[in-house]
Amino acid sequence: MWKKSAPIQVRIGLPKADAWLYQQGVLSLKPWYSLADGMIITLTSILLAMVSAFLLLEERDEGTGAYYQITPLEGYTYLAARIGLPMVWSFLCLLMVTMLCGIAHLTLVQILAAGLLSTLMGAALAMMVVSLAGNQVEGLAISKLTGLNMLGLLMVWFVPRPYQYLGAFLPGYCLSAWPG
């Protein structure tokens, strides 16, 4: 039952673990709540972006993408339908998941800004996977490398101040370095 309820684990389990650890005199997890919310925001858009990337790779492997060239839905319109619409869905899911699971009490402006950045990052990663991969197997390998974008999110928390700016080019850094 607990495997199917990850939002409940984050929303209820993390504060309970924090209370227990604090009572034991070990540490408090409250300073890490923002990191947990950042991971939720980032992973929601990356996972949904990879779904749309693999859909595009499957259509390319089967050769059905060539048939779209003779329909009214060609070129950029096809790309917008295959990546743009899933990213809109990703943004809406991200808002819902963050509001349901978020424990850092982010403001609506912070959630919207982080959601927009994360959704754009997801779309860019999906296009990167599709453009670099020759088939679905290569796409799977490249999609594993998209996890490197999470390093920026982690660098803000675990790397000292002068050296953490080396990860400033990673999209996750902007999400984690948000003031608040």
Q: What is the pLDDT of residues 94-115, one digit of tens each?
A: 999 888 888 888 889 989 998 9
Q: For residue 72, give its domain range.
A: 34-148
Q: Is residue 155 part of a domain?
A: no
Number of domains the chain contains: 1
Residues of the chain with pLDDT under 70: 1-8, 177-180
Quote the pTM value: 0.84
Residue 5 is assigned to a structural domain of this protein: no
| 16 belongs to a structural domain | no
The answer to whether residue 66 sits within a structural domain is yes
Contacts of 22 (CB under 8 A, 6+ apart): 28
Burial (CB < 10 A; 0-12, 13-18, 19+), residue 44, is: buried
Q: How far apart are CA 28 and CA 121, in angstroms?
A: 31
In a domain, 103, yes or no: yes
Q: What is the pLDDT of residue 1?
A: 47
Domain presence at residue 51: yes
Determine the pLDDT at residue 122: 93
Query: Which pLDDT does position 65 carry in this prediction?
Result: 73
Asked whether residue 65 is assigned to any structural domain, the reply reads: yes
